[in-house]
Structure 1
Amino acid sequence: MSIFSYDFMIRAFIAGAIISIIAPLVGNYLVLRRLSQMGDTLSHVALAGIAGGMLLGTNPTISSVIFVLLSSFGIEKLRKSYFRYSEISIAVVMSGGIALAVLLLSLAGSRATNVVSYLWGSIISVTTADIKIIIVLGIVVVITIVLIYKELLYIAFDEEAAGVSGIPISTINMVFTILVSITIAVSMKIVGALLVSALMVIPPAASLKIAKSFKQTLFYSILFSFISVFVGIIVSYYLNLSPGGTIVAIALLILGFTNILKPRL
């Protein structure tokens, strides 16, 4: 029987298609700005949002979006306070996110029974409501990046020069951090909170090895992300594996292949 005859698989592929676009789209700017660890930090905060949703009996995806957005504001605030040591903001928020997640999960008790599906991803747990949220937020991310594409690119390569030229750096940074937050929150159901940052970093890292321009980097990273997500979902279905782990493993294989191929180009 075809896997497309199951409604949960169709939902998984729809969610995967959107995630495979927005994750590397946002991730490219993280890599260029040397902020790869921000994705990992906010993914840990997303765990606190999931735990909070389970504790309050609300949709964990929505609660994780709220938690991660609030944390993104905290990161920007700390980055300004410790301008010369901006990495402190990432360490502080990550530690706080993990601590809060542990506390909320303890309080949730028996209500946190399906937390594992959010940690490692689960194609079965994607609901129709999740799809609607992912579609809406995914469109918001893509449209926003298209609108501020030039500003993001300028800041990524030279933030000081961008500020001198009149670009509102603080506003653009805040908007970008919000986009990262949304991407992480909507990707958890498929990839898992602990692995979503890998999907944001590995495809762009692979594309950097073979691309000759930034637009090519965007194209290849989305292509590699598509391959990783779709092949990962199919393999995880037939072999009964964790979708998040399988997706990231395939992304790593692609990264390895590009590193082998590079000397021959």
Structure 2
Amino acid sequence: MIEMLQPDFMRRALVAAALVGLVAPVIGTFLVQRRLALLGDGIGHVALTGVALGFLTNTAPVFTALIVSAAGAVLIELVRVRARTSGDVALALLFYGGIAGGVLLIGLAPGASTATLTAYLFGSVSTVDVQDVYVVAGLAVLVLGVIGYFGRELFVVCQDEDVARAHGLPVRFLSLVIAVTAALTVVLAMRVVGVLLVSALMVVPVAAAQQLARSFRVTIGLAMAIGVVAALGGLSTAYYVDVAPGSAIVLLALAVFGAAVAAGYAVRALRARRRGERGGGRGATVGTMPQSERGSVSI
């Protein structure tokens, strides 16, 4: 462990990975609740266009990716609402347009190469410098600040838009807040896990937390903890085994999800057995338990 902390690039990479693992599951919890788990993946494809635009215009790729991703997030929300297009069709349009635009602009950019494209597609924490750490930290503070300020309203919108409207909440504005915050998170995480894998770090820790948590707040806290463990554990594994950090982080998160499924099933089976014993054998079985007891996020 001490050996891994000696290189400067690893210390910077660990800080960046910890911030990404902490923040990505926060916005991911809202996306999962709203059944838009693939929105991060779609925005990641658009971010690739932003990165390519940065190389084409000789501008900082992170800056152009941030602008293009935010614009793409707003566009996808407007298409979904105003054009009466279903969420999956709108996301498909974002997927195709983002990846096609990215490949086209990368081919036109004189300073870009296959290695450069791969670094942004799958992450390259070994090239993270001090400036990148500051950018990641700034975006992390911004995302957490937005969630902290609008958290209650966003929760209501994600649960039921009709209920949110009935309470007088600006549903369209809050939907845009979720989309733009997701775009910020994608740009925040792309140097660590890459634009093609960032959605996994936004969704998998949340899915794992839902197997064990019974409330929204506990789900967010547990998902953040899982995200940090997966990010730091995957990066450490990549250092010692010499594999791609992004893939190691995601696979470790998936392993935690598998363990959470098994643990959640065991806990629910134990609860069902105890209820059956208290009810004289007439309690609910696992197959007939209410949804809130099966690991879903309740209010």
TM-score range, shorter chain: over 0.9
Correspondence for 2:182: 180
- Return the alpha-carbon distance in structure 1 between the equivalents of residues 7 and 59 of structure 2: 26
Correspondence for 1:169: 171
Matched, 1:37 2:51: no
Contact 2:72 2:94 in 1 (8 A): yes
Instruction: Give the 3-state SS of the residue equivalent to 2:213 in structure 1.
Output: coil
- Return the alpha-carbon distance in structure 2 between the equivalents of residues 127 and 66 of structure 1: 21
Matched, 1:11 2:12: yes
Query: Where do 4+ consecutive residues of structure 1 move more than 4 Å?
Result: none
Change over 3 Å in CA distance of 1:84–1:45 after alignment to 2: closer
Correspondence for 1:132: 134
Correspondence for 2:109: 108
Q: Deviations over 1:237-261 (max 9, x none)?
A: 1111100000000000001111111
Number of equivalent positions: 265
Deviation of 1:110 after TM superposition, in Å, equals 4.9
- Return the alpha-carbon distance in structure 1 between the equivalents of residues 118 and 127 of structure 2: 11
- Return the alpha-carbon distance in structure 2 between the equivalents of residues 167 and 83 of structure 1: 21
Aligned partner of 2:145 among 128, 143, 146:
143
Instruction: Give the 3-state SS of the residue equivalent to 1:31 in structure 2.
Output: helix
- Percentage identity across aligned positions? 33
- Return the alpha-carbon distance in structure 1 between the equivalents of residues 13 and 159 of structure 2: 36
For 1:74, give the aligned amino acid. Answer: L
Instruction: Give the 3-state SS of the residue equivalent to 2:109 in structure 1.
Output: helix
Correspondence for 1:85: 86
- Return the alpha-carbon distance in structure 2 between the equivalents of residues 44 and 61 of structure 1: 14
Give the gaps of 5 or more residues in structure 1: none
- Return the alpha-carbon distance in structure 1 between the equivalents of residues 143 and 86 of structure 2: 29
Contact 1:45 1:101 in 2 (8 A): yes
Contact 1:206 1:259 in 2 (8 A): yes
Q: Deviations over 1:104-159 (max 9, x none)?
A: 01102552342211111112111211111111111010011011111011011111
Aligned partner of 1:224 among 208, 223, 226:
226
Q: How does 1:45-56 map to 2 (within 5 A)?
A: 45-56=46-57
TM-score scaled to structure 1, two decimals?
0.96
Give the gaps of 5 or more residues in structure 2: 268-299
Aligned partner of 1:263 among 258, 262, 265:
265
